[in-house]
Structure formats: structure tokens, C-alpha cells
Structure 1
Amino acid sequence: MKKAGLFITALSVLTSMATGSAYANENKQYHAGSVQPQTSTSPITVPLVQAPYRTNLAYSVGVDAYIYGYTLVEMARTMQQFTEKTPLNTFHHDKLLADASFKDFVKPNNDTLYSTAWLDLSKGPQVLSYPTIARYFTLQMMDAYSNSFKYIGGSNLDDYKGGKVVIVGPNWEGKLPGNVEVIRAPTDMLWILGRTFVNGEKDLPNVYNIQTGYTLAPLDVNQKPGAIDLPKIESADFGDPSKFYPLLAQLMKLNPPPQRDEAFLSKLEFIRLDYQAGTFHANNDPVVWEGLTKAVKDAKEIIKNSISILQRPNNGNWRVNNERVGIYDTYYLNRAMVAMHGIGANTPEEAVYASTRVDDGGTPLVGQKKYVIHFEKEQIPPTKSFWSLSLYNFENHFIDNELDRYSIGDRTEGLKYNEDGSLDIFIQSTPPKGKETNWLPSPSSTTAPNFSLVVRIYTPDEPLQKKNTFVIPAIKVVNE
């Protein structure tokens, strides 16, 4: 019954997202009658006969608003974590590949060094420079809603020659140099997530040299420093309607939503969320508040448990991200799921992701078992750059292991192929005798499920980007 209820709720959420104008019209009736917009801290008087209906309506709108706004709040929380160590409009360059201690965001890769910058464009444009680079790299630009609106590098081959661009905010007007590319960001809050390929620990100094060429500078030296004024966002705020909805209102004022969201935005009036003013006033309406309290709890579960919508099946037990990743349009649930399970994901043109938590029999992966994934020669992931296989714990972070190996792939030093060109990768908690070069360590815990696997294919061949033409081999138990 619980699963059925969640399914019905999810369907109602998706349906209601398309009927925002109806809610807005009904809400005007409340304002014309005995229910008035809240302009003070005094309680709102509501006829009792309306209470059940209004609670249910507040619940429905509250679920939609939570799903819509989850990514925006999570992006801001990630920004705040970053700016505790690095100012806005400044690059931070990682110097070590992500390992078990990396907790900045979920499902990091272990193939590249990250170069990260959060921008505040409200004070003026920023000039981004990058050097000539003879290896895979990307500078992914995401707006406040996590849409990847621009890439430098990756599949854009001309960018490897180096260059300079001016990034301006959505409403900025002024004079710009005539010989520089201009990128207009959809929001003033912007995340640049850079990735530069590293071929193992010995290659790190070479990447450091490249990172020094990633720079940001104000277009006008007299520009004020970046500043995004928000209260401290904690993980617990995502489960507290008195914290989440006010944060959402403030963030929507700072980062006005696109016009395409107008149908959804018309519903927010009913739960007293004014995104244009950045205010939220439902706290003193107990009938609405009852619906919102339940909405936060259920919406969070909907996001957590709807991951299958985001992925298409591949070989029964692998799931590959569909084309609605990286740029989300009005697919708000997709956007929220990525923010929860792997924020900052690339578009399919730049990387294809496949994941699994089960073996070929559908049994959850556990540490006490030994597994192998066998790639026939024609099953080696098709890519213009490289591919890797990574292992994560149930919280989507790397797992500490004696080899300090968190991913394995075609660039792994010493990787051994079979005589016929096929490849075996062994996944277990103890070293496979004589096959250590092809070993991806798993945890020793026996509690199921306790780890997942992710295949990343960088700049994949075109047929793989939007079609399910590539089959990833199943994970099989090794019988000894």
C-alpha cells in the first residue's frame, strides 16, 4: 500500500504541474471572499468548511513547489559550502583526485581534477580565460537552476586552442570589448565546474600547470566584490517547511525563474509564496501549514524514489541517464533527482552515465561477494575521449580502500586486456590473485545493499548520446 500511495502521489504531482492557472484562479476567489492575502503577522480567519479542501490544495501545491525549488536551494547550499573557503568570482583548483574524504557533492569522478568557481554577476561581468590544452577538459557553466547553458572544451574542439570570454548577467547592459565572445548567463548566480583529465597521480603536476591558466577577473576593476546575501542553509532545512519555503522565495527573487515556468509560478500565490518580493507568509495559516508540513516530507521521498524516471534500462540491471539531464526545461522532477543524486551532471553530448546497484540476477551488490564485469571487444565503451567505472557507497561517496583506487578504466595504468581484445574488471573487497591491475575494490560490509557502480563515457560517440544502442555487460558473481 505504501508503494502504491507514493506512485499515485507522484502521478498527481506531475499532472498538477500542468494546471497552475486553475489554482491561481481559484485562489483569487479566496482573496475576493473571506480569505485575504496576509499583510501582517495576525492569523488568517478561514471558514471551517473550506479547511479540508484548502489543506489538500496546499499539500498539492506544496509538493510541486518543493520539487520545483529543491534544486535551487541545493545549488545555493553547495555555493555556501564553497564560499566558506573560496570567495565568489574566484577559482578553487583541486590538487588531489577525489577520494573517500571528498564530500563537496555526491558522485564525484576520479578521472579529472575539479576547478570550481561560483559567480555573482549582479555586480558586473566576469572575464574568463583558459589556456591552450592538449587533453580532455571542460568548463561547464550552470545557472542557479542547474541548467548547463554553456560548455567550453569537451566536444567543442576549437576551445582547445585557448581563449577568453566575458560572462554577463541576464539584465546587464554596458559596453564590451568588440573582439571577445560574450556569454549571457540566465541568472546572476552561476556555477562553473571545470574538469581536467588526469592520467594517474604522476600526471598531477601537468594538470596543475593547466589549472593556473583558468582565471576570472572583473571586467571593470572598480566592480564591487561578489556577495549573495542568504541565511545559512543546513541539510535539515530541506525537511522543515518553515525554513525551506522562505529560502525558496528569497532565491527566486535573487534568480528570477524563466518565462517558460509561468504556468507553475501562478500556483505559488496559494501557499503565500511571493517569489517576486522574496517573501513567504503561510506560517500563520494553520490550514495551509498543515498541508505544507506533509508536502515537504512526501515531496522529498518522491524525489528520492523516482530515479527510474530519469534513466532508461540497459541490459536489465544497468540504467543509463536519458537525454533530459543537464538541461531540464520544465522537467522539474528530473532536475530535482539529479540535484539529489548527482548534482552538476553533464549533458549527454559531454558524458553518458550508467549506474547499477544489482548483479545480473537483480540481487543488490554486497561486499562479501566477488564480482566480474566482462566487456567483449565490441562492448568496450565507444568514446572520443575516455571512460571509467567508479564505485560508491549508499550515500553516493567513494569508499576508502587499501589500494586508494576509486575508479578504473581505459586510462588505468597496467590494465590488462585478454588476447581476444576483451576486458575483465574484478569487483571485490580482497585482491584477486594475479589480477590486481584489473581490480576495483569494494567494501567489506555484508549489509545489503551497500554499494553502487557508475560507468562514465566522456564525449561519447553520437549514437550513444540519445539512443540505447550500447549494451553494458551485466555484473556477475564469481563462483570460486
Structure 2
Amino acid sequence: MQSTTDPIARDCDHLVIQTLPLFEMMRMRAATTARRHPDLGFAAPQRESAVRWVNLFTHTHRRLGPQDKEVVSPNNDTVYSNAWLDLSEGPVVIESPEMGDRYWTLGLLDAWTNPFAYVGRRTTGNRPQRTLVHGPGWHGPVPPDITQTIAAPGDDVWLIGRHLVEDDGEDAARVRASQAAMRLVRLDGSDAAMRVDTWMDGRDAGIPSADRYLSTVSAALRRNPPPEGERQAWPPTETALQMSLPAVYERLRTSNQPHDLGGGWAIPVMVKTHWGDDYLTRARIARNFIGALGVEEAMYPTAEVDARGAPLDGSQRYELRFAPDRKLKVGAFWSLTMYRRSDCLFVANPIHRYSIGDRTPGLHHDADGGLAIRLQAEDPGPGVNWLPAPRDELFYVVLRLYQPHADHLELRFDYPPIQPI
């Protein structure tokens, strides 16, 4: 790494840390927007083109499993709805149907990764809704059928949606019908889809070149000004960027400092709606956990070690027990998911169980009301809550808490350590 005693290098490092979330969001826009519109066809005829459709939903229709290798540490509870809003040509209306009593959420992230607003069960309910989202330059009348209005701080917004799915059959079909009824339209009801140049190949997740970083951040800044109170000396020189980018990216990769919860548990993300002036954490999350929603929607305590501090190992047997007075308190649901350490992916197993939680059929509680979960490779037999581990490999688990109660949000919950048997 370069020396931080050089004031020019130090200033450029700081500037990269400030602007890296903006670059990484533009990279995600390029990676997750659609090439093809269901009615209007491809955004561009050339396969190598960076032109994509925005203001258009794309959906997944099944829960992810061990055959899916594109996303690390995926969840096994929900399917996704994804869209990027471009508000430069006026507001976009999110149309969502009746959702019954299902857990669902659409998290809105600005171009600086602030999870600034939500539509869904926790915040706006499950009734049919028409949500108007507008950029900072729009001022106009709001139609009477709009159920809520959201003012975005810039022209680019990432919508990340999750829908709880109970099974891969009838319930998955119901969710698919709900997803099909979600639309992004203009105020007059017309399709809001637009073609945009995303500027890059979003599949390239490496350290960007100085010229690519400079041009991308400069263009994105014109559409998404820094959050209020944030000052920047943009642009730096290309020479300074060439030195800073590798150093900063390496620093963000190796300096992961999640919040320690005790008992071998830690949580990588603790943000509500805005990162404030914690630019380093904002950059670290953008590089390593981009798309994270605020903790009021979901928290993800993670454990890689047992009660003794030793790495969790599939050649051993473990038990995680929540005592009767230590039950997980959530407004929606919770789940515990198993991953291999080597690739951060699901563990294939004979019972096809990749997570266990309060909705798992046949979940067995102890006589005193406590809940014990076995983490091991071999089947522990009937009457035991079993989450299969990889045989003779290191693993980790993620405890997902959807709509966590105050004990979790205020870090007062005493998470039990994973005990070796």
C-alpha cells in the first residue's frame, strides 16, 4: 500500500473512500438492469453494448439453492424483485397489488447506498398501492390516487424487493402472480421504461482503472449530488487515482470490522436510513455487502466460531440453543442459514434444507419452551432440529431477523454461543 504520509496520496485515498459507493452502485446498475424488455425487445442490438432498460422490474421466481453460485451468502427465505429508477425525465409510480398477509418489502437505496425509504409490509402495509417517487428537481401536482410520495435525493434509485415464499409450489405461484402485477409507470399510466447507457460491463468486479473510475463518478455526481453536508474536492488527478484505487480497495477487503455482539456473533451492517459521515463503513459495505437494507427491516447476525472461539468445522457437532427467556423477537420471521466458508454458498445435503427457522415444518421445541438446533454433517435422528453442515469443511451461519424488535436493534439481545457437543 502507498504511504499515508504523502498528503496528496492521503487526500486522494479519502476522496476514493467517499466516492467509492457511488462507483459501486453504478457498477451494480450495469450488472442488474435488463437487456431485454418483454414488449420492446433488446435495449441495444449489440450483445456487448452497455445500454440497458431502467424503470423496469426483473424478478426471480424460486428460492436459491446450492446450484446457484452467482450471489454469495444468499437467503433461502424470499424471492427477489429488482429495478433501477431513472428520475431524470420525471417521476415514476410504483404500482403494487394486494399482498394479503405476506411479508414483502421494496427497499429504496440512493446512489450513495443510503437505504432512505421503503414500501411494504412494515412501512406502508399490504394494500394495493401507487407510490410516486420523484427526484430533487421535480415539483408538480400529485394525483389523488397516489397512496404515498417519496422524494429521492438524486436521479438514480435502486429498488430491491423481497417476497417471503413458503414453498416451491402453490405459494411460489401466488408470489409470481403478485410480482407480475407490479409495474413502473409514468403519472399518465404509460410504461416508464427507458434505455440508458450504463457506461461499463457490470460483470467486472475487479479494481477499476483510474480513467473508468474518474469518468463514471464524474457522470454519476452530475445526477446524484453528495448527501447534504458532505464536501468533496472532486476531481482528483488520474495519476493520484492510479495510486489510490488499489490501496483503498485492498484496505476495504481486509479491514472488515463488524459490530461484535458477543458469544461469537457479529453483525456486518448497522445502518437505519443514512450512513451520515461514516464514510469508511459506507465504503466497506458498498464494496463487500452492497444492497444492504436498514436494520429496522432486517438484521443479519453472523457466527463463524463456536463458544471457545474455534472456527465452525463440519467434522464436529454443535448445538445452538435459544432458552425460553432468550427467544428471538421479530415482527415478521427469522431463519438460520448455513454456508461453506470456502465459497460462501449453500451446502448441498440429503434433506435439501439450507435454512431453518420459525416457519420450518415440524420444528421441535424443548419441554421448557426452549429451541435447540443441531449443526452437523450427519443426521442426528428423529425429533431433532437439524441444519446440515458440510462434511469436513469450515462453515458459518447467518441469523436473519426480519422486522427485529428493539432488543435486537438496540443491541441488548444476548445471543447464545454455538456449543460444541
Preserved contact between residue 383 and residue 459 of structure 1 (Cα < 8 Å): yes
1:323 to partner: Cα distance = 4.0
Identity %: 31
User: By how many angstroms is 1:235 displaced?
Assistant: 3.1
Opposite residue 128 of structure 1, the aligned amino acid is I
1:84 deviates by 4.3
- Aligned positions, number: 400
Which one of 409, 415, 418 corresponds to residue 472 of structure 1? Answer: 415
Is the 1:110–1:407 contact (alpha carbons within 8 Å) kept by the matching residues of 2? yes
**CA separation in 2, counterparts of 1:199 and 1:477?**
31
Amino acid in structure 1 at the alignment position of 2:143: P
Aligned to 2:187: 219
In structure 1, which of residues 403, 407, 418 is the aligned counterpart of residue 351 of structure 2? 403
Q: 1:380 aligns with which of 327, 333, 353?
A: 327
How far residue 454 of structure 1 moved from its aligned partner, in angstroms, is 1.0
In the TM superposition, residue 105 of structure 1 has moved relative to its aligned partner by 4.3
**Aligned partners of 1:99, 1:67: CA distance in 2, in Å?**
34
Give the conservation status (yes or no) of the 8 Å contact 2:338–2:355: yes
Q: Give 1:234 shift.
A: 4.6
1:350 counterpart residue number: 297
Q: Which runs of 5+ in 1 are unaligned?
A: 13-52, 273-281, 283-288
Q: What are the Cα deviations for residues 128-158 of structure 1, in whole angstroms up to 9, with x where unaligned?
A: 11122212111111111121111112422x5
Contact in 1 for aligned 2:185/2:192 (Cα 8 Å): no
Match of 1:121 among 84, 87, 93: 87
Higher helix share: 1
Q: Provide the residue aligned with 1:252 in structure 2.
A: 221
Name the CA distance, whole Å, in 1 between partners of 2:417 and 2:193: 54
SS at match of 1:386: strand
| Amino acid of the structure 2 residue aligned with 1:147 | N
**Pairwise CA distance, 1:376:** 0.8
Gap change, CA 1:88 and 1:103, over 3 Å in 2: farther
CA distance in 2, matches of 1:364, 1:90: 43
Structure 2 Cα separation of the partners of residues 460 and 209 of structure 1: 28
CA distance in 2, matches of 1:321, 1:121: 31
1:252 partner SS: helix
Aligned counterpart, 1:195: 162
How far is 1:325 from its partner? 5.2
Sort the Cα spacing of 1:104 and 1:328 in 2 relative to 1 into closer, same or farther, 3 A: farther
More strand by share: 2
Aligned ranges 1:52-63 → 2 under 5 Å: 56-63=6-13
Partner of 1:81 in structure 2? 31
The amino acid across from 1:470 in the alignment is: F
How large is the RMSD of aligned CA atoms in angstroms? 2.6
Displacement of 1:167 after TM fit?
Answer: 1.3
Letter matched to residue 251 of structure 1? A
Gaps of 5+ in 2: 37-52
Query: Is the Cα–Cα contact under 8 Å of residues 325 and 335 in structure 1 kept in the other structure?
Result: no
- Distance in 1 (CA, whole Å) between partners of 2:192 and 2:184 is 13
Structure having the higher Rg = 1
Structure 2 counterpart of 1:98, which letter?
A: L
2:404 aligned partner: 460
Give 1:318-357 correspondences, 5 Å limit.
318-321=265-268, 323-324=270-271, 327-357=274-304
Q: Report the Cα distance in structure 1 between the residues aligned to 2:283 and 2:366, rounded to whole angstroms.
A: 42
2:204 is the alignment partner of 1:235: yes
8 Å contact from structure 1 (residues 120, 228) kept in 2: no
Paired amino acid for 1:191:
W
Q: CA offset at residue 464 of structure 1?
A: 2.2
Deviation at 1:380, TM superposition (A): 2.0
Match of residue 32 from structure 1: none
Measured after TM superposition, the shift of residue 193 of structure 1 is: 1.0
1:392–1:398 CA contact under 8 A, matched in 2 = yes
1:451 aligns with 2:389: no
CA contact (8 A) 2:33 2:83 kept: no
SS of residue matched to 2:201: coil
- Checking the alignment, whether the CA contact within 8 Å between 2:333 and 2:402 is kept in structure 1 is yes
Superposition TM-score, scaled by structure 1 size: 0.76
Deviation at 1:322, TM superposition (A): 6.1
> Which residue identity lines up with residue 416 of structure 1 in the other structure?
H
1:469/1:224 Cα in 2 relative to 1: closer, same or farther (>3 Å)? closer
- Look up the SS of the partner of 2:301 in the other structure: strand
Paired residue type of 2:75: N
- Give yes or no for the alignment of 1:96 onto 2:62: yes
Give the SS at the match of 1:235.
Answer: coil
Answer whether contact 1:385 1:459 (CA < 8 A) is retained: yes
Once residues 185 and 102 of structure 1 are traced to their aligned partners in structure 2, the CA distance between those partners, rounded to angstroms, is 33
CA distance in 1, matches of 2:27, 2:69: 13
Query: Residue 77 of structure 2 aligns with which residue?
Result: 111
In the TM superposition, 1:290-309 aligns within 5 A as: 292-308=241-257
Q: CA deviation at 1:103?
A: 4.9
- Superposed displacement of residue 328, structure 1: 0.9
Letter in 2 for 1:405: R
TM-score (norm 2): 0.86
Which amino acid in the other structure matches residue 216 of structure 1?
L
Task: Tell me if structure 2 keeps the 8 A contact 1:106–1:343.
Answer: no
Stretch of structure 1 that moved more, 404-413 or 318-327: 318-327
Contact 2:272 2:296 in 1 (8 A): no
**Offset from partner CA, 1:161-214 (integer Å, 9 cap, x none):** 221111112223444424423222112111111111112324212222322332
In the alignment, the residues of structure 2 paired with residue 382 and residue 216 of structure 1 have an alpha-carbon distance, to the nearest angstrom, of 35
2:49 corresponding residue in structure 1: none
Per the alignment, residue 371 of structure 2 pairs with 423
- Retained in 1: the 8 A contact 2:185–2:191? no
Q: Which of residues 100, 106, 117 is equivalent to 1:150?
A: 117
